């Protein structure tokens, strides 16, 4: 296994998606990454959530039981899993969850194998997630999908309960939300930082025009279609003009330079940034 601590220097951005939950010692892994983060640097992390992946875990176990001595044979595991889904009753909870949430992604055998036949997986809940975060020694900046962590979307019609929940700590509030809506928490995607962390404000047109946009590393399939997976593994569609702007983002040109070459507007730019489809960096010029 490659030791990241052997890399020379420090990094302003570390992107760690789909890695830590597949390592036997995630705490050691996040601590090694944290040592390479420069002051003011940001680390982006994606790990699995146990509550929203309950049906996945059951299917993983079912496939492993049927495979027996052939466990570890990915081709056989995919064949077994696909046969199970095709054979189970239509109202079976595992089959329904696959069809409703994952089937579009799992058309490819590689994706199917990663989800159901991977030999090493550690899933988290809010409590164990913050044990991992605390072990890093870094500052928790926030989740990439803050709308999910808004209690009002679940119990906003009961203001007395919202008021009582104000006494909870942030971590208690996060836990309350995930136990009330477990199927929505299939993973945690969040940002950590090493002090001093600078937070940018892109409300100004002037500042937005001078920013350097680039596609988020957490979107998939955007090069081929206006419909693709966003940072939260939900399928999103963007307008033709917004897509053309996204295709022109290369992490080098400013927003203004890109707008001069494509038929897009600042509204398109803000829409992409609000949906976290693009990331913005201040221009050094």
> Is residue 163 included in any domain, yes or no?
yes
Clarify whether residues 259 and 214 are in a common domain: yes
Helices (H), 124-214: 126-136, 152-155, 159-165, 170-180, 205-210
Clarify whether residues 131 and 268 are in a common domain: no
Cα dihedral 261, 262, 266, 268 sign: negative
| pLDDT tens-digit map of 110-143 | 999 999 999 999 999 999 999 999 999 999 999 9
Clarify whether residues 112 and 167 are in a common domain: no
- The confidence score (pLDDT) of residue 82 equals 98
- The confidence score (pLDDT) of residue 73 equals 95
Last residue of some domain: 193, 224, 248? 193
> Is residue 200 included in any domain, yes or no?
no
Clarify whether residues 46 and 128 are in a common domain: yes
| pLDDT tens-digit map of 219-276 | 989 999 999 988 777 889 999 999 999 999 999 999 999 999 999 999 999 999 989 8
**55 within 8 A of 183, measured Cβ to Cβ:** no
Q: What CA–CA distances, in Å, run from 194 to 4, 12, 34, 223, 278?
A: 17, 9, 8, 32, 22
Clarify whether residues 254 and 131 are in a common domain: no
Clarify whether residues 44 and 139 are in a common domain: yes
Clarify whether residues 269 and 186 are in a common domain: no
- The confidence score (pLDDT) of residue 241 equals 97
Rounded Cα distance between 284 and 211, Å, is 9
Rounded Cα distance between 75 and 277, Å, is 34
Q: Provide the residue range defining the domain that includes 89.
A: 54-116
Whether the predicted pLDDT of 177 surpasses 90: yes
Question: Chain-wide mean pLDDT for the chain?
Answer: 94
Clarify whether residues 141 and 33 are in a common domain: yes
- Total domains present in the chain: 3
> Is residue 60 included in any domain, yes or no?
yes
Whether the predicted pLDDT of 4 surpasses 80: no
Last residue of some domain: 168, 193, 218? 193
């Amino acid at each position: 296994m490659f030791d990241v601590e052997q890399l020379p220097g420090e990094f302003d951005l570390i992107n760690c998606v789909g890695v830590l939950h597949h390592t036997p010692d995630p705490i050691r892994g996040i601590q090694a990454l944290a040592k390479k983060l420069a002051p003011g640097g940001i680390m982006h992390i994606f790990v699995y959530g146990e509550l929203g992946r309950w049906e996945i875990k059951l299917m993983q176990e079912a496939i492993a039981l049927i495979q027996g001595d052939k466990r570890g044979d990915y081709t056989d595991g995919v064949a077994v899993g696909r046969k199970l889904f095709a054979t189970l009753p239509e109202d079976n909870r595992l089959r329904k969850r696959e069809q409703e949430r994952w089937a579009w992604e799992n058309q490819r055998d590689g994706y199917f194998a990663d989800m159901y036949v991977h030999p090493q997986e550690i899933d988290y809940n809010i409590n164990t997630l913050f044990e991992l975060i605390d072990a890093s020694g870094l500052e928790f900046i926030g989740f990439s999908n803050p709308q999910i962590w808004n209690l009002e979307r679940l119990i906003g019609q009961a203001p007395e309960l919202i008021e009582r929940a104000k006494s909870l700590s942030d971590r208690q509030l996060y836990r309350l939300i995930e136990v009330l809506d477990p199927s929505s928490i299939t993973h945690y995607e969040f940002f950590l930082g090493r002090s001093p962390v600078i937070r940018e404000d892109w409300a100004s047109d002037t500042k937005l025009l001078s920013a350097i946009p680039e596609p988020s590393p957490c979107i998939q399939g955007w090069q081929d279609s206006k419909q693709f997976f966003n940072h939260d593994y939900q399928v999103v569609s963007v307008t033709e003009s917004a897509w053309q702007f996204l295709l022109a983002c290369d992490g080098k040109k400013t927003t203004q330079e890109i707008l001069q070459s494509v038929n897009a507007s600042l509204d398109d730019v803000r829409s992409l940034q609000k949906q976290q489809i693009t990331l913005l960096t201040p221009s050094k010029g």
